[in-house]
Structure 1
Amino acid sequence: MKDNVIQTKSYAFASRVVKAYKFLVTEQREFVLSKQLLRSGTSVGANVEEAIAAVSRPGFISKLTIAAKETRETNYWLRLLHDNEYLPTPIFDSLFADVEELGKIITSILVTTKTHHNS
């Protein structure tokens, strides 16, 4: 099976988000914003998986579009947790860089797919 970069990276990111969530709950005693981060951060990979399994190009585009939106939401929760001193800068910087990279990859795949879809 060929290695799928976005599948691999989104799964690894989701795993890191789970670890960050555990840290936020146990060490920082933050329960509300961290749950939002957990939901959106793991949703990126879940929607990538659904896109890969799509039976049509429109289905693929739809699920990948949701994954792109989830990267934006995750970006928001990361910034909010960091700016309110729940998420230490080294953890924030690393997760933020990863979600930004995921967003760029997903957007690139969407642009390419839509271009080929319309031609």
Structure 2
Amino acid sequence: MIEERSFQFSLRIIKLVKDLKENNEYISANQLLRSSTSIGANVAEAGAGQSKKDFISKMAIASKEARETRYWLRLIKEANLSQLELSEYLDEIDQIIKILTKIVKTSQNTI
């Protein structure tokens, strides 16, 4: 579930990144693209983790990347760098953060 959700979120972010780059907002666009796509990549890696600790580590990194993504989305919204409505992006990243946090905490409690 979280792997597909983070993948779909990354696809949506690509649309936003295109909009940002059309408005010559390359730095924020590149940072957002990097952090947002890293979420799903780390979730995918966690699924192939060599151990429980490896799984937790990758999920924790995904959670950190999600928080960074939320930062960039907030910055882009508050600076009015995009004409797109960002509330749905922010709602989705908040949900992803909650899911990842729960996964990490639950996994840590079962070590």
Q: Distance in 1 between matches of 2:70 and 2:89?
A: 9
Q: In the alignment, does 2:42 pair up with 1:42?
A: no
Question: TM-score with structure 2 length normalisation?
Answer: 0.95
Q: Distance in 2 between matches of 1:89 and 1:38?
A: 16
**Who is 1:115 aligned against?**
109
Q: Deviation per CA, 1:42-61, whole angstroms, max 9, x where unpaired?
A: 10000000111101000000
Q: Distance in 1 between matches of 2:26 and 2:72?
A: 13
Q: Distance in 1 between matches of 2:19 and 2:48?
A: 32
The Cα of 1:87 is off from its aligned counterpart by: 2.6
The Cα of 1:17 is off from its aligned counterpart by: 1.0
**Who is 1:97 aligned against?**
91
In structure 1, which of residues 32, 36, 43 is the aligned counterpart of residue 27 of structure 2?
A: 32
> What letter matches 2:99 in structure 1?
I
Q: 1:11-90 counterparts in 2 under 5 A?
A: 11-26=7-22, 28-88=23-83, 90=85
In structure 2, which of residues 3, 18, 23 is the aligned counterpart of residue 7 of structure 1?
A: 3
Q: Which runs of 5+ in 2 are unaligned?
A: none
Mapped contact 2:16–2:84 kept (Cα < 8 A): no
Mapped contact 2:3–2:40 kept (Cα < 8 A): yes
Q: Distance in 1 between matches of 2:11 and 2:55?
A: 23
Aligned residue-pair number: 111
- Aligned CA RMSD, in angstroms, stands at 1.0
Q: Distance in 2 between matches of 1:89 and 1:103?
A: 22
